[in-house]
Amino acid sequence: GLAAVAERDGQMERDYDSWSVRFTKDRPTAAEIGITAGERTISRLGSRKLKTQKAAVLYDRRVSAGLLGAFLSAISGPSVARGVSFLKDRMGEQVFADGIHIIDDPFRPMGMGSRSHDGEGLPVRETHLIDNGRLTTWLLNGPSARQLGLEPNGFSALGFGDPPGVTTSNLYLKAGDKTPGELVKAVGKGLLVTDMFGPSINPNTGDYSVGVSGFWFEDGEIAYPVSEVTIAGDLPSMFARLIPASDLEFRGTRDAPSIMIEDMSLAGS
């Protein structure tokens, strides 16, 4: 990866580009990564503050996998066993909209997280964690499975000197059928998020807030860059409303397309 910094009229901005691949032949050259990072940084110059309001939010695919991380924490077997998950009573229920699928594929060729077994030596398999919007399983290791009266299911992670945890392999949110541009045009105006920092999540309630920067769009077109915005909401309702775009790329161990969520609370100046 590479980060770039740009300055104009005393205002400094930064942005980046990064890749994770098994083989160097599958990534852009260092020069291409640098050019992308530089272009993104320059496009952020002249950023403005937003007024506090409610608006649609499009999470760019560079940051949208962060929502998958919040979901994984909520279905972690150790968290469910301790009772500190806002999804602990939702097994088998509709958590996302119809048509939403979240899949863990440990057998993806050249996948960054591909594996034949988990940290406790159990075999793994492709698993639909969310199948057509419904929650189908917890992420279990041996200890959490015993606490919940269930069988471990191939998601154990062992670290050096740490108690067993849980992890996925190659996790992804299945792409939708509309491009990010089509989703933007459909809502008219809102916030495109390209960077996030300092997320705060209440594991018991799913209350969510995060600092972001990105671009304000109007009439389906980028209008100007914005910074120092806080997005707030609650993950259960966000999960139920999210719409995946069609731009999924497999570039890491957790991948998601751009994600649109309407009617989000934005706190600005």
Whether residue 110 sits in one domain with residue 163: yes
CA–CA separation, 251 and 112 (whole Å)? 8
Least confident of 182-186, 199-203, 247-251: 199-203
Domain assignment present for 220: no
Final residue belonging to a domain, choices 142, 173, 204: 173
Final residue belonging to a domain, choices 158, 173, 188: 173
Q: What is the pLDDT of residues 12-29, one digit of tens each?
A: 878 878 777 777 777 788
Whether residue 33 sits in one domain with residue 108: no
Whether residue 83 sits in one domain with residue 135: yes
Q: What is the pLDDT of residues 199-240, one digit of tens each?
A: 899 999 999 999 999 999 999 899 999 999 999 999 999 999
Whether residue 84 sits in one domain with residue 140: yes
Domain assignment present for 84: yes
What do you get for the CA distance between the two ends of the chain, in Å? Answer: 32
Whether residue 70 sits in one domain with residue 168: yes
CB 255 within 8 A of CB 62: no
CB 173 within 8 A of CB 143: no
Domain assignment present for 94: yes
Q: What is the total count of domains within the chain?
A: 2
CB 229 within 8 A of CB 268: yes
Domain assignment present for 236: no
CA–CA separation, 157 and 135 (whole Å)? 21
Final residue belonging to a domain, choices 110, 145, 173: 173
Domain assignment present for 183: no
Domain assignment present for 102: yes
Domain assignment present for 264: no
Whether residue 98 sits in one domain with residue 145: yes
Q: Looking at this protein, which amino acid is placed at residue 262? A: E
What is the DSSP code (8-state) at residue 24?
Answer: G
User: Can you list the alpha helix ranges (DSSP code H) found in the chain?
Assistant: 30-43, 65-74, 77-82, 142-148, 180-187, 235-241
CA–CA separation, 128 and 264 (whole Å)? 28
Q: In what order do the strands lie in the sheet with 102-104?
A: 134-135, 127-131, 102-104, 171-173, 254-255
Least confident of 25-34, 192-201, 235-244, 249-258: 25-34
**Domain span holding position 6:** 1-46
Whether residue 115 sits in one domain with residue 73: yes
Q: In the predicted model, is pLDDT for residue 5 greater than 90?
A: no
CB 28 within 8 A of CB 19: yes
Whether residue 122 sits in one domain with residue 90: yes
Q: What is the pLDDT of residues 47-75, one digit of tens each?
A: 899 999 999 999 999 999 999 999 999 99
Domain assignment present for 162: yes
Reduce the DSSP state of residue 128 to 3 states and report it: strand
pLDDT value of residue 22:
77
Whether residue 106 sits in one domain with residue 20: no
CA–CA separation, 101 and 92 (whole Å)? 14
pLDDT value of residue 118:
95
Q: In the predicted model, is pLDDT for residue 162 greater than 80?
A: no
Partners of 196 in the β-ladder: 212
Whether residue 112 sits in one domain with residue 38: no
What is the DSSP code (8-state) at residue 26?
Answer: G
Whether residue 109 sits in one domain with residue 15: no
Whether residue 161 sits in one domain with residue 78: yes
CB 77 within 8 A of CB 148: yes
